[in-house]
Structure 1
């Protein structure tokens, strides 16, 4: 069964999420020299900033020089574009690290920007796949109000992504949210991860979390991931996101 950790606000959520990430980091570095992590965009990145960079108790425990950071989905736009997940990660994590005297940041892997706008979207996806490690120690995921995660969307238009069994990265076209062209991890990539953690905050997520956590709705990509890989899955949510949802109230610290 997937773990669900519930918090009264963003600050406590970010703190415990950071503790969870550091635990995954430490476990990975016991077994090797690198920590392979993939991240999504959106509000998740603000939580990483708050927990891993701003939190005085935890920031010294992050071994950034051993981090290898990938993006579990990316919009096919220039890296400095406002919709770029890499660009958002740079703003929330890389730039603040640069401001710290002597701080050594992580190694990041972005899409090939030189191919953007050349109708080479399949090639961008295939090339990004070649950069991926054999396994991920942790993949950090978001969940949209429609139940999408990565750029795996519900509905017939995007069934081809959920049915993909060979590619680890695929081109998502006709995204219901702009930009319409993206690359995304597929289910085989998520399945192979050591740990998967969703972050969802706010009342707008409540109806979808009710369907996923209480209703076990596998028609929603985030629900499908939660059900199929539940032993590896943790959810970090705030009270507003699970208001009225039948879930045991616990935190990662108390687990």
Structure 2
């Protein structure tokens, strides 16, 4: 079964999420010289800032120079655009690191900005796929109020993305949330990861988490990932997101 860790507030969630991430970092670096991690956008990045950069318990434990950071999905916009996941990561993680004495930042892999706006979206996705490692040590995921994760959306319009078995990165067109054009990891990329971790906070997520945890609803991409890959899936949620939902109320602790 997937592990679900529940918290009273964002700060305590971010603290334990950081502890979880560092356990994956240490495990990866025991085997090699790099930690391959992929991140999503949204509120997840605020949790990374709080737990990995602002929390003094973990500041010195993050081996940033060994991190290789990729993006689970990306809006096909310029990197400085406010909709860019890379841009949000830069603002909340990379820029604060520059203010830390002696801190070496991670190696980040952004989309080829020169292809933005040229109607070369399949090529852009293929180029990004060529950058990916064979396997990720950790993929950090979000969950939208509609049950989407990465830019894998529910419904007929986007079922082609869930049916993809060859491409590891695909062009998502006609996104129900703007911008319309994105690239996204596909299920084969998620399936091959060592660990998958969802972060979801707020009452707006409660109806969808009820469908995932109680209804085992695989029509929702986040539910599909949770059900199919549950042995490597963890969720970090707050109380509001799982109010009234039948999940074991526990917090993360290193094993």
**Range into which the TM-score falls when normalised by the shorter chain:** over 0.9
SS of 2:27's partner is helix
Which residues of 2 match residues 1-255 of structure 1 at below 5 A? 1-253=1-253
CA deviation map 1:98-124 (0-9, x unaligned): 111111000000000000000000000
SS of 2:81's partner is coil
Gaps of 5+ in 2: none
> How far off its partner does 1:253 sit?
2.4
The normalised TM-score by structure 1 is: 0.99
State the Cα RMSD in Å. 0.7
Gaps of 5+ in 1: none
Cα distance in structure 2, aligned partners of 1:218 and 1:225? 8
The normalised TM-score by structure 2 is: 0.99
Cα distance in structure 1, aligned partners of 2:53 and 2:73? 23
Runs of 4+ in 1 over 4 A off after TM superposition: none
Cα distance in structure 2, aligned partners of 1:117 and 1:221? 28
Question: Cα gap change, 1:113/1:254 in structure 2, threshold over 3 Å: closer, same or farther?
Answer: closer
Cα distance in structure 1, aligned partners of 2:11 and 2:102? 27
Cα distance in structure 2, aligned partners of 1:92 and 1:213? 31
> How far off its partner does 1:190 sit?
0.2
User: Does the CA contact (< 8 Å) of 2:20 and 2:254 recur in 1?
Assistant: no
Count of aligned pairs: 255
